[in-house]
Every structure is written in C-alpha cells, then in structure tokens.
A and B are shown apart, each in its own frame.
Chain A
Amino acid sequence: MSLWAWVIGACVAAYLIKLAGYLLPQSVLDRPVFHELAGALTVGLLTSLTVMNTVGKGQAIQLDARLLALAAGAVALKLKAPYIVVVIAGGLAAALGRRYLGLP
C-alpha cells in the first residue's frame, strides 16, 4: 500500500510542476525580452532533446544505429522531405542498420 502512496505522490508532484510554469503572470511573459529568451530556449531545448535521443542510454552515452537515423533524417530534411518522411527515414535507417550492418 505504501508503494501506492509514493506512486500517487509522485504523480501529484509531476502535475504541480507542470502547472507551476503556467502560473507566471502573463504580463511578465509578454515582455519582448522574454520572447527573445523563449526563442533561444526553444533551440536549446530541441537540440538537447535531439542529442539525448540520439546518444543517450540511461545515464550513459551509447553510439549505435540511432546515429544512422540522425544522418538519414538530416538528409531527408536537406531534400525538403515532408515531416512524416523524415520520421520514417529515421526509423528505417535505424532498423536497417541493425539488421544489415549489425549495429547495436
């Protein structure tokens, strides 16, 4: 039963954190300077998420077929492929790299 309490407690905490960001007053968020910062943060966050998904394995770095997926995605984007094609290219590259190139 105590595990249940921690499960619920952690869910409540997760929700309150999500909510907390929205509680900053709009007047602060509407300042042009915040918009500039938000623009910069968007690039930083998206980059970090991309890198984390490419080489992260728990608390370690692992180079594997996902690098191939990154390259395939980049090529598709360079060719101005539609977004869904980019995603599929990444998935195919990783799957084929594992199957035929023996990548981890």
Chain B
Amino acid sequence: MRLPTFTPAVRMGLSIAAAVGVYGVSFGALSVAAGLNVWQTCALSALMFTGGSQFAFIGVIGGAGTGGAAWAAATLLGVRNGVYGMQLKALIRPPRRLIPLMAQFTIDESTATATAQEDHDERVRGFWTAGLGVYVLWNTFTLVGALAGNAIGDPGQWGLDGAAVAAFLGLLWPRLTGRDPAAIAVLAALATIVTLPLVPPGIPVLIAAVVTAGWWAWRRRHVPALPGDGGAE
C-alpha cells in the first residue's frame, strides 16, 4: 500500500480522530469506577470499539444492573453500525477479503468521514484514517483513563466536546446544498432532539435514519424525478 498523503479526507480523518479519540480517557475512568477491571475496560475498547455501546455497557453495570441488561443495552446501541456497514458497502464497494476487517472499524466517525467525501479513493482514505486514528487514540486513552482514574478530569474542560461538534458539522456542511438535503437535515435534527430524552443514547440516530428514509420514500413517490440530492452517486 502506498503511504497515505495528506489529502482532505486524511486531514478530516485525523482531525476527527483527535477530537474524539481522547475521550477514551473518560471511558477508561468511568469504566473502572463502574466496577470493571482494567483488562475488561481495555477489552471493551479494543473489541467492542463503538463508544456509545461501551458507555451503555458500563453505565448499566455501574448502576448495579445485570450483565444481561448491559449486554442488551450495548447491543441495541450498536445497531446503527449495521446501517453504516450497508452504506459503506454501497459507497466504497470494498473487496470481499477486507470486509471482516472493515467491519471492526465501522463506527460513527469512520462512516461520517467516508460518506462526506465525493470520490471513491477519498472515501476509502477517509474511512481508514478516521477508523484507525480513532482506534489507536481511543484505546491508548482508555488505558490512560483506566489507570489514572478520575485524576485527569473531564476532557470537556479542554473543549474537546466542542471540537467534536465542529468536526461533525464540518462533515455535514458540504452536503447541505439544495432544498432536499436542507429538508432532510431539519427533519433529522427535529427527530434527534425530540427523541433524545425519550430513548437510550445512540437510538435517536437510528430514529433520524428511519425518518429520513421515510421522507425520502414519500418524496420519491410524489415527486417522481427526484433530483440528485447531494447524494452518493
């Protein structure tokens, strides 16, 4: 494989990895506080590797829930990764032998970075840079957090949560051209805000996806010549 050059997708992937990966420190600290040991904490980051599900798992355990309840919460939150896999396969058409590996790195950030790109090679670079970048940082900082406990404090005080917000906005922004994407964005934002307090974390993303698909199907039926809406082609 060629050495990656610093194309826009690579820079996006690295930026988002830096903004998000450092949050592993929160996960590590909270996981140990919830009663998992350092090895279990690191196993979750290395093997489960999907932040929302990991926080859900330790949240249930920390709240004195059963292992089964923790399993169910984590699994439910992981469902959106299945949707991401579908989308990535459609967009990137990965070689079959890479799929088992790609699957492990299929998370919010890698999917977002890949789908935000316009051409195939950039999508591939975006996926791997964000996926591997988050993986390395997330696991490193999980270990740091698990060992240091709460001594490090909340990464929010360094503004990292704000960096993550801007990172996702930066991926969305170029897609907001034309009326259809704008309408989808408004609907998806509303669906997310309305359902955030009602369902477990991570599920609003799925609901927004369902609302988007519903709107798209409705639109397609009633407006037969749906113009390309900043889409995947």
Contact = CB atoms under 8 A, between A and B. Distances in A.
A24 B89 contact: yes
Task: Decide if the interface of chain B is mainly helix, strand, loop or mixed.
Answer: helix
Contact of B232 (A38, A44, A55, A84): A38
Interface residues of A, number: 78
Given A20-B82, A48-B191, A43 B230 contact: yes
Interface of A: 2-11, 13-15, 17-22, 24, 26, 29-30, 32-56, 58-61, 65-66, 68-70, 72-74, 76-77, 82-84, 86-98
Nearest to A5: B67
A42 B174 CA distance: 12
A48 B44 contact: no
A16 B104 CA distance: 9
A2 B67 contact: yes
Give the one of B170, B187, B231 with max A CB within 10 A.
Answer: B170
Contacts of A72: 162, 166
A39 B104 contact: no
A83 B169 contact: no
Interface string B126-142: 00000000000000000
Contacts, number: 324
Interface of B: 8, 11-12, 15-16, 18-19, 36, 40, 43-44, 47-50, 53, 57, 59, 61, 67-68, 70-71, 74-75, 78-91, 93-94, 99-100, 102-104, 106, 108, 111-112, 115-116, 156-173, 175-176, 180-181, 184-185, 187-189, 191-193, 196-197, 199-201, 204-205, 208-209, 211-213, 215-216, 220, 226, 228-233
Q: What is the interface of chain A mostly: helix, strand, loop, or mixed?
A: helix
Contacts of A34: 90
Given A26-B93, A43-B188, A60 B197 contact: yes
Most buried by A among B59, B85, B215: B85
Identify the 8 closest CB pairs spanning chains A and B, nearest first.
Answer: A39-B231, A21-B85, A90-B166, A94-B162, A69-B162, A44-B212, A95-B159, A73-B166
Contact of A43 (B48, B80, B166, B184): B184
